[in-house]
């Protein structure tokens, strides 16, 4: 029986998904033992079944990210935080440093949409449409929101690192990654 894998990108750059594609022709070997369910790789937007493995890239910047991450935890037996954004918040977490302001979120939005020298905004409006997900008070890494079973470091992790980790998880053995795949210097 093939293992079911789901993937999602939250507040990240999609680089971890690109690394998944960097396993190149080995994806054909992966498809012999696993199939993808909810993932941008096949454009399935909803879970069709319970999944054995969930890969999550990106942290949580808004309420939609939190809801999606909670849905993954509920529908995946093993949940893996992939990359620096999922593990530590990555670049988006830099907005958490604006903590000395009276209203740090407002200051961040004003800088992004009104005060930056590279932004043209003739109305001086900050987007505030009901269709937009509510922005959280700060950026949260995945383990601050749900239980994470494994973490794969990197920005992004290499295709080889993802390949070896997925192979181990599919076989039900610990991922024994060589130093070369997990060092970042």
Q: pLDDT tens digits for 95-135?
A: 888 766 678 888 888 888 998 889 999 998 998 899 999 99
pLDDT at 100: 66
Retrieve residue 108's tokens.
Answer: 């961040």
Count of positions (residues) in the chain? 185
Retrieve residue 119's tokens.
Answer: 């932004």
Burial group, residue 143, by CB count within 10 angstroms (0-12, 13-18, 19+) = middle
Q: How high is the mean pLDDT of the chain?
A: 92
Q: How far is CA 111 from CA 6, 77, 108, 120, in A?
A: 36, 40, 5, 12
pLDDT at 176: 84
Neighbours of 28 (CB within 10 A): 9
pLDDT at 99: 64
Does residue 94 register a pLDDT over 70? yes
Strands (E), 37-157: 51-57, 60-62, 76-82, 135-140, 150-152
Retrieve residue 124's tokens.
Answer: 């001086």
CATH architecture of 3-93+135-182: 3-Layer(aba) Sandwich (3.40)
Distance, in Å, from the CA atom of 139 to the CA atom of 99, rounded to the nearest integer, reads 12
**Quick one: pLDDT band at residue 185, thresholds 50, 70, 90?**
low
Q: Residues of the chain with pLDDT > 90: what percent? A: 74
Mean pLDDT of 155-167: 95
**Quick one: pLDDT band at residue 25, thresholds 50, 70, 90?**
very high
Mean pLDDT of 5-24: 95
pLDDT at 182: 80
């Amino acid at each position: 029986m093939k293992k079911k894998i789901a993937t999602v990108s939250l507040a990240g750059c999609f680089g971890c998904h690109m690394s998944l594609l960097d396993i190149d022709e080995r994806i054909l070997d992966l498809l012999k033992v696993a199939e993808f369910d909810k993932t941008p790789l096949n454009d399935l937007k909803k879970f069709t079944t319970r999944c054995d493995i969930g890969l999550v890239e990106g942290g949580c910047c808004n309420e939609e990210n939190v809801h999606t991450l909670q849905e993954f935890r509920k529908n995946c037996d093993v949940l893996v935080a992939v990359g620096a954004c999922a593990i530590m918040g990555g670049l988006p977490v830099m907005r958490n440093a604006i903590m000395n302001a009276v209203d740090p979120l407002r200051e961040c939005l004003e800088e992004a949409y009104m005060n930056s020298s590279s932004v043209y905004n003739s109305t001086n409006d900050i987007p505030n449409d009901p269709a937009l997900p509510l922005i959280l008070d700060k950026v949260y890494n995945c383990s601050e929101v749900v239980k994470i079973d494994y973490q794969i470091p990197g920005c992004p992790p290499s295709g080889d690192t993802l390949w070896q980790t997925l192979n181990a998880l599919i076989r039900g053995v610990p991922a024994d990654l060589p130093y070369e795949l997990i060092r970042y210097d």
